[in-house]
Amino acid sequence: MILDIGRSLRYYYLRLRRLRGGPQELALGMAVGVFAGCLPIIPFQTAVAVALALCFRSSKITAAIGTWVSNPLDWYFLYHYSYKIGASILGLPEHKELFSKILVSMDQTHSFLHIAEIILQMGSLFAFAFIIGGALIGLVASPTAYFIFLFIFKKASRARARRKTPVRFGHLPE
């Protein structure tokens, strides 16, 4: 079991290293994906990320990968803080019953459409609060992701260039 996880992580690491494109293009794709991943529109995050990647001329693959910032381990926090931030901007009251319904649906592994239905039953203003809050979280998280991944992709690009440079006798590699 642990060996399988290690093999999977190594596989995805190698796939990430082999991505084509410049470091800026790849990092921008990742940032766009993180932004879309922060939006509480879970079944549509990848589609939004790829569409934004097309608009910003960035890597569509890293945009799709960037949406993985939203995963089953943090969905509750994503929804909770998205609503909390959006509701405070719109002046809406805090609805603990809404989150208890969402938690019950997540515990019972209902579909994302069922969870969206619960949110929409509260009214379109509440759904809008989720979107505004998620967009603000994404606006904070995506520049951070851009600079982190720009560093990573630049480092990987330099390492790739060093591996391709032939070593000649009598010359030291730079």
Q: pLDDT by residue for the chain (174 residues), tens digit each?
A: 556 777 877 776 677 667 778 999 999 999 999 999 999 887 789 999 999 999 999 999 999 999 998 887 787 788 888 888 998 898 887 776 766 777 677 667 666 677 777 777 777 787 888 899 999 999 999 999 999 999 998 988 887 777 776 656 555 555
What local confidence, expressed as pLDDT, does residue 164 receive? 72
**Quick one: pLDDT at residue 52?**
96
Where do the structural domains in the chain lie, given as residue ranges? 22-159
CA–CA–CA angle 50, 55, 58 (5° rounding): 65
**Segments of 31-166 assigned E as strands:** none
- The pLDDT value recorded for residue 156 is 83
**Could you tell me the two tokens for 49?**
């990320």
Angle between helices 112-121 and 124-164 (to 10 degrees): 140
97-135 burial by CB neighbour count: b if 16+ within 10 A, else e? ebeebbeebbeeeeeeeebbeebeebeeebbebbebbbb
pLDDT at 149: 94
Residue 31, pLDDT score: 97
